[in-house]
Amino acid sequence: MTPQAPNKTYAEWLRLYDPVPVDAATQEKMRRRIAAMVGTPRISIVMPTYNARSVWLREAVESVQRQIYPNWELCIADDASSSAESRALVAELAASDARIKVVFRPENGHISAASNSALELATGEWIALMDHDDVLSEHALFWIADCIDRNPKARLIYSDEDKIDEEGVRSSPYFKSNWNLDLFYSHNMFSHLGVFRADLVRRVGGFRLGMQGSQDWDLVLRCMEKIDASQILHVPRVLYHWRIHAESTAGSADAKPYAAIAGERALNEHFSRLGVDAKAEYTGAGHRVRYALPASPPLVSLIIPTRNGLHLLRQCVDSILARTAYENYEIIIVDNGSDDPDTLNYLGSFQDSAFVRVIRDDREFNYSALNNMAVAQAKGDIVGLINNDIEVISPDWLSEMVSLAIQPGVGAVGAKLWYPDRTLQHGGVILGVGGVANHSHKGIAFGDSGYFSRANLIQSFSAVTAACLVVKKERYLSIDGLDEAHLKVAFNDVDFCLRLIEKGFRNIWTPYAELFHHESATRGADTAPEKRERFVREVNYMLDRWDALLKDDPAYSPNLTLDREDFSYAWPPRVELLSTARIQ
């Protein structure tokens, strides 16, 4: 994970922005907000337990009892614990508080069966899942109830989380994005804290037996099949503290290898139910979903604008021709006024080529216009925008990108781009970083998996770079392509991707299409006065056109910085602090 700047520790972040306990004035504001809610739904917390360590089970239960939101019940199912001490503690806790319900199972059935037994006790409209050794923040259920009240159509709700060790020290916060289907397929970003509409849980039959280790993930997959993505809400606050110890999945994925196997099964059965020809496999950092190409893969038109730059152009084209496993493609080189004799000779060598076409366009450089013109002449159902300073690394790069681009609901697909020194150039685009946008995890070293492995996982981003971008031609044309009037050079790819989102598509980045990017080597920096003026105009256009999204990228987190691309903490976060929140 990316380290924080000196003296910018999570402990300090918590002290400033999420202090414990919540002060009396804030608690009073929360109680007034609760009184003003249209309804105060009962939240049933489902907690399976087996031979729990007494100190941790007591701490877990006490964290529930400390909740500021009052309308809850705790449903504990003891899964035939062999420890008399554990069973006695469960009985003691239930006897001490009428809101705690307990069932003692006569035989051990593992976590799914025990969770279903706890579900049978639940009478609430909502179900929250909690492990017997974890801890809730005291305002956890308040923010869940607040979300429910503000979003009456919500059916699934999840929050941010962190880890808590055996001494109670918190660490490793996972500040999550809003609902991100492709990231969810890569790892279970929903848990924890995960909260479900109770009737939805019962509709899908509760927990499935045999899914131990990924039973929560499987439940979310089956629930989301019955609802719209807009009904899955994210609370960008740390509401759940996941206990780290030797046997917990919080400590290491190696602690429960069976969980990875169950995750594969949950995903693959989900795709089977949806009729999607895809297969998930565990990679160590998460799960990779491979989508099948059709028996006759579509023609792809790869568009490469260039002006001179023979060395880079030849390197780009040769690498595509020599290293691309996908066979059904054409290359369209858009020659934007080359005058170098060697370059012209090279371009002329493709006159009789079956794979490469050259289109001459001598107008002033306008990246958007050059690509739009070429797309109009492209023969392929898929178009790929490729910079002339790109060099292929992985032979399956185009197969991977096309397999994603042809999926329903997908707009643009971006690749993992490396600088020649094997530091990362592009891992997706984060809105708002540095003003308009910048590249996720830019500059991290080869082998660094990034923030919660996000540099190694397929996921949705609000935008991806057009240095290597694949999209269905019909979708490109449906939004009139790149904006050649307002964004001739900069940010046209970001704007393009955001307009795809406006049309209802999502944009995907994959780490399994790897290429080198010798960035802007032929055009150079925009230091000339007229170029600088143009850049400023393009920045201002983006700020005016996309102001709200640039301030709150749904694929990022308001708890992470906009000053850098390294997923470090925001000081302060862009969510209202408890002490100053306008809770009303």
CB of 127 within 8 A of CB of 54?
Answer: no
Query: What's the CA gap between 417 and 425, in Å, rounded?
Result: 5
Neighbour count for residue 305 (Cβ, 10 Å): 25
Looking at domain 300-551, what is its CATH homologous superfamily?
Answer: Spore Coat Polysaccharide Biosynthesis Protein SpsA; Chain A (3.90.550.10)
Q: Tokens in use for 169?
A: 């020290």
pLDDT of residue 1: 44
Residue 584, pLDDT score = 59
Task: Kindly provide the residue ranges of all beta strands, DSSP E only, lying in 43-193, ordered along the sequence.
Answer: 43-49, 72-78, 100-104, 126-129, 135-136, 156-164, 170-174
Q: What is the pLDDT of residues 401-424, one digit of tens each?
A: 999 999 999 999 999 999 999 999
The average confidence (pLDDT) of the chain is: 95
Integer CA distances (angstroms), 482 to 368, 490, 495, 545, in order: 5, 11, 8, 14
Rg over alpha carbons for the chain, rounded to the nearest Å, is 26
Taking phi first (over 0 means left), then psi (-120 to 50 degrees means alpha), and beta for anything else, what does residue 470 get?
A: beta
Q: At what angle do helices 215-224 and 110-121 cross, to 10 degrees?
A: 60
What was the pLDDT predicted at 262? Answer: 95
Q: How many CB atoms lie within 10 A of CB 381?
A: 17
In which residue ranges of the chain is pLDDT below 50? Answer: 1-3, 521-524
Nearest to 55 by CA among 85, 91, 78, 80: 85
* pTM score: 0.95
Q: Span 39-250: which CATH code?
A: 3.90.550.10
Contact 367, 306 (CB under 8 A): no
Q: Is 243 exposed, middle or buried (0-12, 13-18, 19+ CB in 10 A)?
A: buried
CATH 3.90.550.10 residue spans of the chain: 39-250, 300-551
Note the pLDDT of residue 293. 98
End-to-end CA distance of the chain: 37
Q: Which residues of 145-172 are buried (b: 16+ CB within 10 A; e: fewer)?
A: bbbbbeeeebbbbbbbbbbbeeeeebee
Q: What is the pLDDT of residue 7?
A: 66
Query: CA 422, 427, 433 angle in degrees (round to 5)?
Result: 115
What's 298's DSSP letter? P
Q: Are 304 and 347 in contact (CB under 8 A)?
A: no
